[in-house]
Amino acid sequence: MLKLYNSLTREKEEFRPLGGEATMYGCGPTVYNYAHIGNWRSFVFYDLLRRYLEYAGWPVNLAMNFTDVDDKTIRGSRAEGVPLKEFTRKYEEAFKKDSRKLNILPPRVYARATEHVNDMVRLVVRLRDRGLAYRAEDGSTYFDVSEFKGYGKLSHLDLGELREGASGRVSVDEYGKEEARDFALWKAWSEEDGDVYWDTVLGRGRPGWHVECSAMSQKYLGETIDVHAGGVDLIFPHHENEIAQSEGATGKPFVRYWVHCEHLLVDGRKMSKSLANFYTLHDLEEKGFKPVALRYFYLSAHYRSQLNFTLDALTQAQRTVEKLNDFVLRVRSAPNAENGVVTDALQTALKGFENAMDDDLDTANALPYLFEAVRVVNSEIEGRACVPVKDVLDFLMRVNSVLGVIDFAREEIPARIQKLVCEREKAREQKDFAKSDELRNKIRGEGFVVEDSAGGPRVRKA
Ligand code: AMP
Ligand code: ZN
């Protein structure tokens, strides 16, 4: 039974979707720059959650947005003197490409904010009709936080303090808790927006950042969704404002489970360009790292604990992934047996892995079960015993359907060849060298060679 920590209730709760499949929304990237390895921690986390929900038996309807219009994207495109669309598409493509490299499965829907402005306007009009939004002197439309009772429930804001502060307004997309005030749903056109505007019933302008996610999640996933994911920095104001907009408009609960991934630090500090501790995936590839090593590194810690990135730790992660890939080859070329001690060990390991994952996706405690299974199988192979190759591979594939770090696309050794290798191993044990040679020749006749190494026999394509 899967339990997830819900940031709204601050408790671990049993997960059950409302329908037959789980609806999930993940706040996507603001496409004004290449994603950094802090961002990727969050996106790999969404993927882990999505994969484990599917593992647990619920297909996931996942939608994710591209924030391709907001304060940052407009500023960036103007600084470079290129149209907003051209500017953001470059980063969107890079994001998709890097996601593939990190074995992140694509969502069912990628939604661009600029293609959903009508949906956003409709939502704002609905809020205005319900007395939750108003047009200010500057022509922008703001959300009236004093009219929405639940405001502050996700970030656990003190409402008394909030009311005092609520007299003012905030027009920028990002701000701190101490500035909690009426926020912009629709921003009237100003000089800095250049040619980025839409003429709508709300006047000439553009949507605020927060309303993008409320409108798009409702469009693709419905008024109440099961899971909404993001990094911890999004709790306030972004997710708090999403709740106000969505619940204010529909009168229904917006999200059943709010899940947030903690931040990544680099060399013990917050990542920043000025500290020279800022990395994109491309930076790490240039240093000779494989993207999947980064993915493994993220999974080595629980998503709700801060994780400190160092190049040494990444080197270690890369070695571990290589060992797992070597292990797959080794198992494939090991002599096959029907079952044995290994079968029990695999079952125990899988149970342990699932229990840890059921406990709020505790990858830090789940991974040791994988390595325990690897240890048992390795010691069997080294002791020259035959192992149930198919069972070991099935185990690895199941675990990897969640982790997404092992590469199975290497040479496959057919079962009949494994069987011959196992027979040859038995003949050698019984010192029947004539038979063992005969079997070796037969294996070669099939296009494979068997080598006797210190770790036991290994087979590969000739
Ligand atoms: P952005 O593109 O700025 O909207 O951020 C994309 C995602 O990255 C959001 O879910 C953020 O919460 C997340 N994020 C930003 N910085 C970090 C970090 N240092 N560690 C983990 N996640 C982060
Ligand atoms: Zn969002």
**pLDDT tens readout for residues 348-374:** 999 999 999 999 999 999 999 999 999
Q: Verify whether ligand 1 is closer than 6 Å to residue 27 (CB atom).
A: yes
438 CA to middle of ligand 2, Å? 66
Q: Verify whether ligand 1 is closer than 6 Å to residue 121 (CB atom).
A: no
Does a structural domain hold residue 162? yes
Report the SS3 class of residue 106. coil
CB atoms within 10 A of CB 22: 26
**Looking at per-residue confidence, does 219 or 451 come out higher?**
219
Give the number of domains in the chain: 2
Does a structural domain hold residue 180? yes
Determine the atom of ligand 1 nearest the C-alpha atom of 230: 10
Read out DSSP for 430-458? TT-HHHHHHHHHHHHHTTEEEEEETTEEE
Q: Verify whether ligand 1 is closer than 6 Å to residue 31 (CB atom).
A: no
- Confidence (pTM): 0.89
415 CA to middle of ligand 1, Å? 46
Task: Tell me: pLDDT of 37 over 90.
Answer: yes
Mutation test of ligand 1: which of 33, 72, 88, 233 has the most ligand atoms closer than 8 Å to its C-beta? 233
Mutation test of ligand 1: which of 25, 42, 262 has the most ligand atoms closer than 8 Å to its C-beta? 42
Task: Tell me: pLDDT of 172 over 70.
Answer: yes
430 CA to middle of ligand 2, Å? 67
Q: Verify whether ligand 1 is closer than 6 Å to residue 39 (CB atom).
A: yes
237 CA to middle of ligand 1, Å? 14
Domain boundary among 228, 261, 294: 261
Does a structural domain hold residue 131? yes
CA distance 462 to 460: 6
Q: Verify whether ligand 1 is closer than 6 Å to residue 30 (CB atom).
A: yes
pLDDT of residue 315: 97
Ligand closest in space to the Cα of 216:
2
Q: How far is CA 338 from CA 419, 425, 439, in A?
A: 10, 15, 20
Q: Verify whether ligand 1 is closer than 6 Å to residue 229 (CB atom).
A: no
Task: Tell me: pLDDT of 162 over 70.
Answer: no
Determine the atom of ligand 1 nearest the C-alpha atom of 262: 21
For residue 198, give the CATH number of its domain. 3.40.50.620
Report the SS3 class of residue 119. helix
Domain boundary among 261, 283, 317: 261
268 CA to middle of ligand 2, Å? 27
- Letter for the amino acid at 96? K
Residue 381's nearest CA partner among 325, 348, 425 is: 425
- Mean pLDDT over the full length of the chain: 93
Does a structural domain hold residue 248? yes
H or E stretch including 318? helix 311-332
Residue 234's nearest CA partner among 12, 451, 29 is: 29
3 CA to middle of ligand 2, Å? 23
CB atoms within 10 A of CB 50: 24
Domain boundary among 231, 261, 291: 261
Does a structural domain hold residue 323? no
Tokens 């190049």 correspond to 311
Q: Verify whether ligand 1 is closer than 6 Å to residue 41 (CB atom).
A: yes
Does a structural domain hold residue 166? yes
pLDDT tens-digit series, residues 321-343: 999 999 999 998 888 887 677 89
CB atoms within 10 A of CB 93: 11
CB atoms within 10 A of CB 178: 8
For atom 15 of ligand 1, which residue has the closest CA? 39
pLDDT band at residue 454 under the 50/70/90 scheme: low
For atom 11 of ligand 1, which residue has the closest CA? 231
Does a structural domain hold residue 371? no
> Quick one: tokens of 237?
């104001």
Determine the atom of ligand 1 nearest the C-alpha atom of 232: 12
Alpha helices in 224-310 (DSSP H): 240-250, 281-286, 291-299
Decide if 223 contacts 250 (C-beta within 8 A): yes
Mutation test of ligand 1: which of 39, 64, 95 has the most ligand atoms closer than 8 Å to its C-beta? 39
pLDDT of residue 255: 98
Reported in sequence order, the residue ranges of 10-115 that DSSP labels E, i.e. its strands, are 11-14, 22-26, 60-66, 109-112
Average pLDDT over residues 449-456: 72
pLDDT band at residue 15 under the 50/70/90 scheme: very high
Average pLDDT over residues 67-82: 96
Does a structural domain hold residue 381? no
Task: Tell me: pLDDT of 272 over 80.
Answer: no
Task: Tell me: pLDDT of 102 over 80.
Answer: yes
451 CA to middle of ligand 1, Å? 49
Tell me which residue range forms the domain holding 424: 413-462
Instruction: Name the least confident of 163-167, 403-407, 442-446.
Output: 163-167
